[in-house]
Amino acid sequence: MIQRASKMALQEVMPASNQNPAEVSPTFFSCTQADVRYNAGVDIIAAHLDHRRSYDDFYYVYPVISRRSQGVSIGVNLNPDKICNFDCIYCEVDRRTAPRTRSVDLVVLRDELSAMLGLWKSGELFAREPFASAPLAWRRLNDIAFSGDGEPTTCPVFEQAVACAWECREAAGVSEAKLVLITDAACLDRPGVKKGLELMVRGPHEIWAKLDAGSPEYYRRVNRTAVDYNRILSNISRTAQAMPLWVQSLFLKMHGQPPSSEEIDLYCGRLTTMQTEGAHLLGVQAYTVARPTPEAWATALESHELDSIAEVIRRRTGLEVRCSYGPSFN
């Protein structure tokens, strides 16, 4: 029996359509409120406040209408045990309830991923809510993403899971879909992870490496981890010297206060240092809290605050910055 769990898809107040999702061309977020308010009367926030990782009886595979990729993202959860090496103050993973399974069964993973790709190809995925309300342009298959209830690169079968995803993608005839790794970067120096990445980069792919802080002190406050901050910086820089990647950064308020200008300056300095070291950074995905957090004092930035930070990053580093906003567009 196929089983697993899923991120909540993005609900849109748009009519469903019978057009083949593969015929829809991709679009991307830029850092403007106009792009976020892409259609009058469409509420893209309500669905993101519900972040359940569940789809029928699946254990590992789940579909998402992603606000950042503006398309269908098929998630692969390599941490069904909900164990993570970070304890971020903004993480919405529910660790109060017991996991359904604690290990990754590659046979079940393959069956689930093949089945999910079939649901997308047939259009059956869009026959029910919340996917039926997804706008037509967002029904294209953007990627298969390693992300879930913890850090995917800590999974002991990460390399084999990448191979499984690669084979399922080719078998389904969707070789243009990216393989995406969403990572906190702590384990990018592990041999098995490096081998998995070497396979990923042979085809369409993206690596999103987390960097939420410019100083060790702020890093410890936000990410609450025993992983050394310098290891994160080194892993991002060295990986980006071998394969281009995106830096993903969540900026938020703590006790009502956004990051200080000094902290943002330090953050920009970390990126410019990486560039000087030869790191190929594709850009920064800057976002903020979109769902309830485990800490009530960890709250979203207003859109103008995120825009201001993005402009500083762009000016200081020369990098492209893409923004995803929180539950208020004021």
Q: What is the pLDDT of residues 148-177, one digit of tens each?
A: 899 999 999 999 999 999 999 999 999 999
User: pTM for the full model?
Assistant: 0.84
In a domain, 3, yes or no: no
In the block, tokens 């069904």 appear at 80
- Which helix (H) or strand (E) covers residue 118, if one does? helix 106-122
84 C-beta neighbours (distance < 10 Å), count: 20
Residues of 169-196 as b/e, b for ≥16 C-beta within 10 angstroms? beebebeebbbbbbbbbbbbeeebbbeb
Residue 7, in any domain of the structure: no
pLDDT digits (tens, 9 = 90+) for 299-317: 999 999 999 999 999 999 9
Evaluate whether residue 329 is within a structural domain. no
Domain presence at residue 77: yes
Tokens of 290: 């979109």
Q: Count CB-CB contacts under 10 A for residue 24.
A: 18
- Whether 14 is covered by a domain: the verdict is no
Number of domains in the chain: 1
Residue pLDDT, tens place only, 243-291:
999 999 999 999 999 999 999 999 999 999 999 999 999 999 999 998 8
As a residue count, the chain comes to: 330
Can you give the residue range of the structural domain that contains 29?
21-324
Does residue 9 form part of some domain? no
Q: What is the pLDDT of residue 56?
A: 78
| Structure-derived torsion over alpha carbons of residues 311, 314, 317, 320, reported in degrees to the nearest 10 | 150
Q: Is the pLDDT of residue 74 over 80?
A: yes
**Lowest mean pLDDT segment, chosen from 83-92, 267-276, 320-329:** 320-329
Q: Nearest Cα to 73, choosing from 15, 7, 141?
A: 141
Helices 216-223, 229-242: axis angle to 10 degrees equals: 100
What average pLDDT is seen over the chain?
Answer: 85
Q: Quote the CA–CA distance of 118 and 160 in Å, as a whole number.
A: 21
CATH of the domain at 102: 3.20.20.70
Residue 308 lies in a domain: yes
Cα–Cα dist 211/267, whole Å: 8
Sheet with 178-183, edge to edge strand ranges: 61-66, 71-76, 141-146, 178-183, 205-210, 245-250, 281-287, 321-324
In this structure, is residue 40 part of a structural domain?
A: yes
